[in-house]
């Protein structure tokens, strides 16, 4: 018989659990807005920019690559917003251009001298890499995000429904959009090392998308998204520990199962 | 409305039970040899083979190796949660020593109680080979930017298992220390080690037969592990290029190799098949040097005689080359 608590005997698993408990509610919350605003591709591009962030850090000899990643991602997000709002081409084209550029730069620098294998753990994530300091950063962001949500959610939602209308209501559209982008950038960057670049976006999108399948109002939408995010996070962490698979993918697999179940349920309900 | 919440609840429960069930099945399969009295964990392949021979058929002793790194050498090895778990249940951890296990610090911090047997504690390491300036420069840069100092840089050359005489010392050290830690099986360990040592001695004699022919030959090494081989055969190392999985050579380095071949009259290059093959072929084409692809014995099948066989093959390879 398995001892279902033994995974908490290890320091790194306790850190991982704390990180999951902090990060998944954030993913759940931010996800609802990302799905509403149809920004899934945006957060994906942000995830990819982590590579460049690390590369930039390496070039400038920054010891803590977290720092260079975060700084780069924030600049990247603001720039994306800026150019996106200029309406020169459709948003997905612009995001795609940015995303591929940053990935190319990141890969070029990191693979110099054939050394890319060292960074390949970034792609799938490494749960052992969570440190105390990172949990500290996450906690700070957690508080900021909650505050932002409490005070800014209505404004953000209004912008999402109709930009011009929101502007006429006196809402500072630019400020809110930029703040939101920066928050997404911070959260993505600080969790990417253990979630992995390839799937971080799934974690951001899936809980919210599943919740959207079955929700009829904003309250339900948020509630379900939070529940799904935390549930898949904790269960994924446990299962990954006992089966010795990478944690990020396991969490995403569970979140995907939830998505398909809610999808089928939602479709049935609507057809009734 | 109510319907929906119960659906969510049931769905989550189903997923929970499903994953718990599947995990239990999976773990049950894995937990076969939990009931042993004395658990030995080894850090990597040569240590495992040595310990395997020492443990022999001793009852109630389990022997396990850490998960095998994909890249052969241990330098960039990352412990997985499974390794941490393995060590948490271990009585002894057998390591090579000399800094090759870069994760030892982490292990010592997490498991201060774990007994560690350092196989090379009695072995005199060779100095790091001829300084390869390119590597050194690269590594300094790397260390400064990642905060991760490549263990090679200021350490001795710890690939001592490549020399049969050092390996015999290592086997004896492991056996002695295991015997003192596990008195119940002490006799088995010492006896098994003696039997194994006899086989190793034969192997060493086989190697020494070649000594007259190899002494003084100029060689180039494509991996620092071969410094021990060169040492045992009395060969002169003219140039050393440390090729491994994470390094590609530049054209300039190949030119350096060719120059060394030219200037010093090098007859052989000792290289690893996996990482040295391409450059080896290139160099062979450009000059009349012979590249010998020797096994570095850091991976292979988990059989008792793996070390003996692989070493024997290495000796045979050289012998055939010399007779030619």
The pLDDT of residue B174 is 92
Instruction: Summarize pLDDT for B185-241 with one digit per residue, the tens.
Output: 888 899 999 999 999 999 999 888 888 888 888 888 888 888 888 888 888 888 887
Torsion angle of the four alpha carbons A174, A175, A180, A181, in this order, in degrees rounded to the nearest 10: 60
Query: What distances in angstroms separate CA B152 from CA A144, B102, B225, B276, one per listed residue?
Result: 44, 10, 11, 19
Alpha-carbon gap: B109 to the closest alpha carbon of chain A (Å):
11
What confidence category does residue B159 fall into, taking pLDDT thresholds of 50, 70 and 90?
confident
Do residues B81 and B171 both lie within one domain? yes
Last residue of a domain, one of B205, B232, B267: B205
- Cβ–Cβ gap A128/B79 under 8 Å: yes
Is residue B71 a part of any domain in this protein?
Answer: yes
Q: Residue B118 pLDDT more than 50? A: yes
Give chain B positions within 8 Å (CB) of A227: 8, 12
Q: Could you say which residues of chain A have pLDDT below 70?
A: 1-3, 113-118, 128, 272
Do residues B220 and B271 both lie within one domain? yes
What span, in angstroms and rounded, lies between the C-alpha atoms of A221 and A208? 7
Do residues B230 and B185 both lie within one domain? no
Report the sign of the C-alpha dihedral through residues B212, B215, B220, B226, in that order. Answer: positive
Q: Residue B18 pLDDT more than 60? A: yes
User: Percentage of chain B surpassing pLDDT 90?
Assistant: 9
Which of B16, B19, B70 is the best residue to mutate to test the A interface, defined by the most A CB atoms within 10 Å of its own CB?
A: B19
Domains and CATH numbers, chain A: 6-198 (1.10.3470.10)
Average pLDDT value for residue range B34-54? 83
Do residues B100 and B48 both lie within one domain? yes
Higher pLDDT, B142 or A164: A164
Is residue B23 a part of any domain in this protein?
Answer: no
What span, in angstroms and rounded, lies between the C-alpha atoms of B93 and A80? 52
What is the number of domains present in chain B?
2
What span, in angstroms and rounded, lies between the C-alpha atoms of B126 and B252? 27
Q: Residue B140 pLDDT more than 60? A: no
Q: Which residues pair with B65 in a beta bridge?
A: B42
Q: B140 Cβ partners below 8 Å, 6+ apart?
A: B153
Query: What distances in angstroms separate CA B60 from CA B8, B36, B56, B94, B177, one per listed residue?
Result: 49, 5, 11, 18, 18
Q: Which of B19, B23, B248 is closest, CB to CB, to A114? A: B248
The pLDDT of residue A208 is 93
Q: Residue B34 pLDDT more than 60? A: no
Alpha-carbon gap: A171 to the closest alpha carbon of chain B (Å):
34
- Cβ–Cβ gap A115/B246 under 8 Å: yes
Domain that holds residue B315: 211-323
- Cβ–Cβ gap A265/B7 under 8 Å: yes
Buried b (16+ CB within 10 A) or exposed e, A100-139: eebbeebbebbeeeeebeebebbebbbbbebeeebbebbe
Do residues B115 and B170 both lie within one domain? yes
- Token couple for B286: 């450009």
The pLDDT of residue B138 is 43
Is residue B132 a part of any domain in this protein?
Answer: no
The pLDDT of residue B196 is 92
Do residues B171 and B48 both lie within one domain? yes
Is residue B146 a part of any domain in this protein?
Answer: no
Is residue B76 a part of any domain in this protein?
Answer: yes
Q: How many other C-beta atoms lie within 10 A of the C-beta of residue A54?
A: 25
Is residue B155 a part of any domain in this protein?
Answer: no
Is residue B80 a part of any domain in this protein?
Answer: yes
Do residues B215 and B189 both lie within one domain? no
Do residues B309 and B181 both lie within one domain? no
Instruction: Summarize pLDDT for A98-157 with one digit per residue, the tens.
Output: 889 888 988 888 877 656 666 777 777 777 677 788 888 889 989 999 999 888 888 888
- Cβ–Cβ gap A115/B247 under 8 Å: yes
Coil/strand/helix, residue B122 = helix
The pLDDT of residue B145 is 43
Strands B92-95 and B218-221: unpaired
The pLDDT of residue B245 is 56
* Phi and psi torsions of A95, nearest 5°: -60, -40
pTM for the predicted model, two decimal places: 0.64
Task: Using an 8 Å CB-CB cutoff, list residues of chain A that contact chain B.
Answer: 1-2, 4, 9-13, 57-58, 61-63, 65, 113-115, 117-118, 121, 126-128, 214, 224, 227, 231, 235, 238-239, 241-244, 254, 257-258, 261-262, 265, 269
Instruction: Summarize pLDDT for B275-285 with one digit per residue, the tens.
Output: 777 788 888 88
- Cβ–Cβ gap A118/B76 under 8 Å: yes
Do residues B164 and B255 both lie within one domain? no
The pLDDT of residue A115 is 63
The pLDDT of residue B78 is 64
The pLDDT of residue A143 is 92
Average pLDDT value for residue range B256-281? 82
- Any idea what DSSP says for residue B23? H
Furthest-apart CA atoms within chain A: distance in Å: 63
Average pLDDT value for residue range B293-322? 85
Is residue B17 a part of any domain in this protein?
Answer: no
Interface of B with A in 122-181 (CB under 8 A): 138, 142, 144-147
Q: Residue B73 pLDDT more than 50? A: yes
Measured in Å, how far apart are chain A's first and last C-alpha atoms?
44
Contact criterion met (CB below 8 Å) for B103 and B183: no
Last residue of a domain, one of B176, B205, B234: B205
10 Å CB burial of residue B29 (0-12, 13-18, 19+) is exposed
Do residues B270 and B246 both lie within one domain? yes
**Domain harbouring B291, CATH code:** 3.40.50.1980
**Residue found by looking up tokens 């997490």 in the block:** B110
The pLDDT of residue A242 is 83
Q: Residue B155 pLDDT more than 60? A: no
Average pLDDT value for residue range B127-141? 47
Q: What average pLDDT is seen over chain B?
A: 79
Q: Residue B253 pLDDT more than 80? A: no
Q: Residue B287 pLDDT more than 60? A: yes
**Nearest C-alpha in A relative to B141:** A61
Q: Residue B148 pLDDT more than 50? A: no
The pLDDT of residue B36 is 61
Do residues B197 and B69 both lie within one domain? yes
The pLDDT of residue B275 is 74
Q: For chains A and B, count residue pairs whose Cβ atoms are closer than 8 Å.
A: 88
**Nearest C-alpha in B relative to A126:** B80
What span, in angstroms and rounded, lies between the C-alpha atoms of A186 and B41? 41
Q: Is B16 on the interface with A (CB under 8 A)?
A: yes
DSSP letters, A122-156, are HHH--GGG--HHHHHHHHHHHHHHHHHHHHHHHHH
Q: Which of A10, A63, A113 is closest, CB to CB, to B247? A: A113
Do residues B71 and B194 both lie within one domain? yes
- For chain A, percent helix, then strand, then coil, each to nearest 5? 85, 0, 15
């Amino acid at each position: 018989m398995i001892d279902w608590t033994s995974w908490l005997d290890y320091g790194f698993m306790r850190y991982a659990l704390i990180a999951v408990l902090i990060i998944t509610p954030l993913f759940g919350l931010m996800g609802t807005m990302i799905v509403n605003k149809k920004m899934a591709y945006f957060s994906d591009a942000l995830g990819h920019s982590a590579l460049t962030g690390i590369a930039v850090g390496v070039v400038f000899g920054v010891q803590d690559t977290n720092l260079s990643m975060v700084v780069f991602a924030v600049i990247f997000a603001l720039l994306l917003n800026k150019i996106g709002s200029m309406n020169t081409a459709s948003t997905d084209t612009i995001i795609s251009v940015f995303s591929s550029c940053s990935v190319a730069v990141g890969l070029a620098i990191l693979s110099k001298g054939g050394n890319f294998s060292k960074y390949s753990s970034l792609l799938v994530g490494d749960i052992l890499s969570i440190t105390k300091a990172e949990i500290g950063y996450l906690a700070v962001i957690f508080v900021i995000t909650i505050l932002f949500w409490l005070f800014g959610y209505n404004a953000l939602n209004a912008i999402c429904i109709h930009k011009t209308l929101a502007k006429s209501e006196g809402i500072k559209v630019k400020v809110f959009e930029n703040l939101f982008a920066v928050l997404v950038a911070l959260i993505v960057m600080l969790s990417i090392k253990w979630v992995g670049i390839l799937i971080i976006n799934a974690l951001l999108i899936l809980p919210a998308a599943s919740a959207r399948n079955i929700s009829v109002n904003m309250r339900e939408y948020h509630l379900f998204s939070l529940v799904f995010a935390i549930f898949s996070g904790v269960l994924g962490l446990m299962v990954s520990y006992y089966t010795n698979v990478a944690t990020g993918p396991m969490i995403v697999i569970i979140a995907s199962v939830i998505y398909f179940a809610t999808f089928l349920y939602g479709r049935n309900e609507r057809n009734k | 409305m109510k319907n929906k919440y119960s659906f969510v609840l049931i769905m989550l429960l189903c997923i929970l039970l499903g994953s718990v069930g599947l995990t239990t099945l999976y773990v049950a399969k894995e937990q076969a040899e939990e009931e042993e009295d004395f658990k030995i964990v080894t850090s990597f392949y040569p240590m495992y083979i040595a310990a395997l021979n020492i443990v022999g058929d001793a009852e109630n002793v389990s022997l396990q190796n850490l998960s095998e790194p994909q890249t052969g050498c241990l330098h960039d090895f990352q412990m997985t949660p499974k390794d941490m778990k393995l060590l948490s249940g271990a009585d002894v951890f057998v390591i090579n020593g000399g800094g090759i296990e870069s994760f030892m610090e982490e292990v010592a911090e997490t498991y201060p109680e774990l007994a560690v047997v350092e196989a090379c504690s009695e072995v005199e390491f060779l100095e790091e080979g001829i300084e390869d300036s390119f590597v050194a420069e690269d590594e300094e840069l790397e260390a400064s930017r990642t905060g991760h100092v490549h263990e090679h840089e200021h350490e001795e050359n710890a690939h001592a298992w490549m020399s049969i005489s050092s390996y015999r010392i290592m086997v004896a050290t492991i056996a002695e220390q295991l015997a003192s830690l596990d008195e119940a099986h002490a006799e088995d360990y010492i006896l098994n080690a003696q039997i194994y040592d006899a086989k190793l001695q034969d192997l060493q004699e086989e190697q020494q037969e070649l000594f007259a022919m190899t002494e003084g030959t100029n060689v180039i090494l494509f991996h620092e592990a071969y410094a021990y081989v060169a040492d045992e055969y009395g060969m002169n190392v003219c140039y050393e290029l440390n090729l491994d999985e994470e390094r590609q050579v530049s054209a300039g380095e190949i030119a350096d190799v060719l120059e060394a071949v030219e200037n010093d009259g090098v007859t052989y290059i000792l290289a690893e098949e996996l990482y040295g093959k391409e450059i080896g072929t290139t160099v062979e084409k450009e000059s009349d040097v012979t590249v010998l692809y020797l096994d570095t014995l850091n991976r292979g099948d988990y059989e008792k005689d793996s070390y003996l066989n692989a070493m024997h093959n290495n000796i045979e390879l050289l012998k055939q080359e010399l007779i030619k």
